A and B are shown apart, each in its own frame.
Chain A
Amino acid sequence: MSTSLKRRRRLGYLYAIPSLVILVLFVIYPVIYGLRISLFDWDWVAGIDKITFVGLGNYLAIFKDPYFWNSLKNTILFAVGSLVVEFVLGLLCAMLLYKIKRGGLLFRTILIFPLTISDMVAAIMWRMMLDPSSGVVNQLLNSIGIKSVDWLGNGKVVLFSIILVEVWWMTGNITLIMLSGLQSMPVEQLECGRIDGASSWQIFRYLQWPHLRSFAESALSLRMIDLLRVFAISWAITGGGPNRASEVSQLYIYTNGLGKYLDIGYSIAMAILFSIFVLIIVAVLKRIIRIGADE
């Protein structure tokens, strides 16, 4: 290796130092610290100074905790339900926006608007709109002769209600990604298809979709991670109720930790286990998408 190449490499390491310092301070150290604390019984209600090593005790306790598994089930149902609806709607909206010649900017703005709102604001707004007696949703239903629905107090309906809020809030995200995919495709290919007599469906299926697949993969993976990390929508709309029917994992972890019980060691153990689940679920999702692509 030439001396100048060696010098350039050394210089490269030097440039990387600031990023490495930030990485160590804000990523690696918190992860190691979190892993360490998850091995301790650290209950602030008993006293912040009382900290006892319990090994894998917290992790073993999680396996016996039905509320954790219930929250994980709710999280997965919420994430999968939201993702399917968001993707279908988002793709449909992207196709329509791609096709329309006039008013595209207006519709795009309408679709993007919810994205500019924070999750907490969206949650509070929808909590008021879904209020069973004074909310605008039931008032609209009543005006067309449909009886009021208990959107937030009925355990069988509540998960659907929070999926509705999530879909309203984040569908624009998928629309934007898919629209940029459509717009990045050369128009000539589509024109060739049309000249060869392909139907609209055939153009979508054999020309546009193969091009869109990588965009779909990114959109689905990013949204899935985001959906699994849901917190504010559950916390601010239902508080996890009724009877924990809408309690999601992050809310349960928060309640056990700083939110209420102050059982810090246990809540961090749950957070770490939950992170592993997120990783597994996203890996499975990517695998499914890849199998679809190979076929």
Chain B
Amino acid sequence: MKKNFKKVIAAALTAVMVAALFAGCGSGSSDKKEEQASSAAAVSESSAPAAASSASEASSVAEETDKPYAGQKVRVLLNAHPWQEAIEPIVSEFEEKTGIDVEITVLGEDAYWDRVNLGISSEEPPFDVFMLSPNMTGYNGYVNGWIANLDDYVYADPSYDFDDIYPYIVDGFRFPDADGSIYGIPLTMETYMLFYRKDLFAEQNIDVSKLETIDDWMAALDTIKAAYPDIAPAVIRGQDATMPDELLAAVYNNWGDRPYLAQRMFYFDEDWNTQFTDPAVKAGFETWAKLLAMGPVGATSFTWYECVNQFAAGKAATYWFDASVFASTFEDPEQSQVVGKVGYAAIPKTATGNGTTHWAWGLGITEKSPVKDAAFEFIKWGTSKEMNIYTATGTYGPVRASAWEAKSAEFGEEFCNAVDTSLNMSAPGYMYFNGAGEVTDKIIDAVVRISQGEDLDTVMEWMDQQAKEIVEKEGLKNQ
């Protein structure tokens, strides 16, 4: 009996090691909702004191000045990004100007999204302002009411000139409902394009202006491969959680003018029937896998970080379907060995179409933040006309028309033309629905398998089946 009791205790202790990881994250059952609501209110009141008490101390002075939020503390969570690198050293200017105390935490992208998901879902989010993109995080935030609606803020101060931000970028940060309220303020945009080594192509007498199609480029890459055995013909994202976002550009490049549903992109029709065996989808996956197979040793495991490093170190002749923002790295002598040697082009056409996608980073506020007004002051400053121009040197992707006008000469004609052409044939590359995370993980598996030599048709049929199962599991067909 005693022995059995010991076994039970041992079993319970072992079980808790794993189970507690998840179980301790907060109560969420419906019967606990009231309790949650009251505790949330209590937390909100009790967590506010740091801000509230300091605010009250300062309020008597602040109300009379132009620093209404002086003494409040805004906690900011940022992804490691050229925008963050540009803004962080000058945050003290904002602090002096407003009297708001800003506390910044920076994380690499792998850890960043995990921290955001955990943070915004908690009863007491550990940050007020955070970087976000029009992806599942925004969707989850919308469904659960974790992200603040910013409609009332954006036009409150006319000098902010919100309309100067391109509307098609703002639209990515609208909640997916009839009102389409804004939940994020864009700070940088990127479109997916082609980077190539001008010097290598010139040395091989390849006239890039005559390479009109993907097939033309593939043939040229064979020449490059034969001429430069130590340089990989191409580099492209592999086992990277964000790769499916860019893959949308490769699929869209084959899709043509056919309609598709924005949040499901090319993979599901209006009845949630799967479309992974569609010739355009297959062609997009095949192109990606071919380019991945052309990469350096280990390319399968590359994230954008390794891809950028490889290209900047001169170890790859082309870099495909990736973000215009990386031009800032390639043209920075401190980070790049190929400064002045990089050519920029829009994605070349295929037999069935020509298109790419764009994406954006923005700033949002947690719904439970006790200092929303001060938090928006920070966002307003960070995305103002002046700051958008200032940070553009690092991001190569400002979101304001005024900033593009101011920075075009610095970016160079070729880059601006490539971005312009790309945006003219671009669609927002955002996919979100219940189950999208699982679908994107399966997409990564499929691309890696094709690149490692598995039969395209077999893998795409497998992918189609996997997507069907996810859609059924999530009950999307019955909605």
Contact between A257 and B298 (Cβ–Cβ < 8 Å)? no
Cα of A279 to Cα of B144 in the assembled complex, Å: 37
Say whether A44 faces chain B, with CB atoms less than 8 Å apart: yes
Q: Least Cβ distance of B300 to chain A in Å?
A: 3
Contacts of A238 in B (CB 8 A): 239, 301
Contact between B17 and A45 (Cβ–Cβ < 8 Å)? no
Say whether A169 faces chain B, with CB atoms less than 8 Å apart: no
Cα of A274 to Cα of B18 in the assembled complex, Å: 8
Say whether A259 faces chain B, with CB atoms less than 8 Å apart: yes
Contact between B19 and A48 (Cβ–Cβ < 8 Å)? no
Cα of A261 to Cα of B117 in the assembled complex, Å: 10
Q: Least Cβ distance of A41 to chain B in Å?
A: 10
Q: Which of B15-62 contact A (CB under 8 A)?
A: 15-25, 27-30, 33
**CB contact between B121 and one of A31, A48, A50 (< 8 Å): that residue:** A48
Contact between B14 and A279 (Cβ–Cβ < 8 Å)? yes
**CB contact between A132 and one of B29, B140, B296, B441 (< 8 Å): that residue:** B296
Cα of A153 to Cα of B438 in the assembled complex, Å: 21
Say whether B180 faces chain A, with CB atoms less than 8 Å apart: no
Give the number of residue pairs across the A-B interface with Cβ within 8 Å.
176
The residue of chain B having its C-beta at the shortest distance from the C-beta of A48 within the complex is B144
Q: Least Cβ distance of B26 to chain A in Å?
A: 9
Contact between B28 and A272 (Cβ–Cβ < 8 Å)? no
A153-B301 CB under 8 A given contacts A27-B13, A49-B30, A243-B448: yes
A133-144: contact bitstring with B at CB < 8 Å (1 yes, 0 no)? 110001000000
Contact between A229 and B17 (Cβ–Cβ < 8 Å)? yes
Say whether A119 faces chain B, with CB atoms less than 8 Å apart: no
Q: Least Cβ distance of B438 to chain A in Å?
A: 6
Contact between A279 and B21 (Cβ–Cβ < 8 Å)? no
Contact between B298 and A271 (Cβ–Cβ < 8 Å)? no
**CB contact between B298 and one of A49, A50, A131 (< 8 Å): that residue:** A131
Q: Which of A18-57 contact B (CB under 8 A)?
A: 26-28, 30-31, 33-35, 37, 40, 42-51
Contact between B25 and A244 (Cβ–Cβ < 8 Å)? no
Q: Which of B136-186 contact A (CB under 8 A)?
A: 136, 139-140, 143-144
**CB contact between B301 and one of A44, A152, A254, A260 (< 8 Å): that residue:** A152
Q: Least Cβ distance of B448 to chain A in Å?
A: 5
Cα of A34 to Cα of B452 in the assembled complex, Å: 40
Q: Least Cβ distance of A113 to chain B in Å?
A: 25
Contacts of A272 in B (CB 8 A): 15, 18-19
Q: Least Cβ distance of B108 to chain A in Å?
A: 9
Say whether B445 faces chain A, with CB atoms less than 8 Å apart: yes
Q: Least Cβ distance of B263 to chain A in Å?
A: 13
Q: Which of B117-132 contact A (CB under 8 A)?
A: 117-118, 121
Name which of B25, B143, B449 has the most chain A CB atoms within 10 A of its CB. B143
Say whether B85 faces chain A, with CB atoms less than 8 Å apart: no
Contact between A133 and B310 (Cβ–Cβ < 8 Å)? yes
Cα of A291 to Cα of B13 in the assembled complex, Å: 26
Question: Which of A77-85, A196-204, A209-217, A262-270 is near enough to bind chain B?
Answer: A262-270
Contacts of B434 in A (CB 8 A): 43, 45-46
Contact between B18 and A244 (Cβ–Cβ < 8 Å)? no
Contacts of A254 in B (CB 8 A): 21
Q: Least Cβ distance of A104 to chain B in Å?
A: 35
Contact between B15 and A31 (Cβ–Cβ < 8 Å)? yes
Contact between B299 and A261 (Cβ–Cβ < 8 Å)? no
Cα of A213 to Cα of B469 in the assembled complex, Å: 50
Cα of A51 to Cα of B22 in the assembled complex, Å: 16
Contacts of A155 in B (CB 8 A): 452
A243-B313 CB under 8 A given contacts A47-B143, A262-B140, A272-B18: no
A270-291: contact bitstring with B at CB < 8 Å (1 yes, 0 no)? 0110111011001000000000
Say whether B202 faces chain A, with CB atoms less than 8 Å apart: no
Contact between A253 and B301 (Cβ–Cβ < 8 Å)? no
Cα of A250 to Cα of B118 in the assembled complex, Å: 17
Say whether B114 faces chain A, with CB atoms less than 8 Å apart: yes
Q: Least Cβ distance of A238 to chain B in Å?
A: 7
The residue of chain B having its C-beta at the shortest distance from the C-beta of A50 within the complex is B30
Contact between A275 and B452 (Cβ–Cβ < 8 Å)? no
Contact between A153 and B17 (Cβ–Cβ < 8 Å)? no
Contact between A241 and B448 (Cβ–Cβ < 8 Å)? yes
Q: Least Cβ distance of B390 to chain A in Å?
A: 31
CB-CB nearest 10 A-B residue pairs: A132-B298, A153-B300, A34-B19, A241-B239, A34-B23, A275-B15, A153-B301, A152-B301, A132-B297, A271-B18
Q: Please give 19 more A-B residue pairs, beta carbons under 8 A apart, in addition to A48-B121, A253-B22, A279-B11.
A: A34-B15, A34-B22, A37-B22, A44-B144, A45-B437, A131-B298, A132-B298, A133-B296, A134-B313, A152-B301, A153-B239, A258-B117, A261-B438, A262-B140, A264-B25, A268-B23, A271-B19, A271-B21, A272-B18
Instruction: List 7 interface pairs A-B (beta carbons < 8 Å), by A numbering.
Output: A34-B15, A48-B144, A133-B296, A153-B302, A239-B110, A255-B441, A272-B15
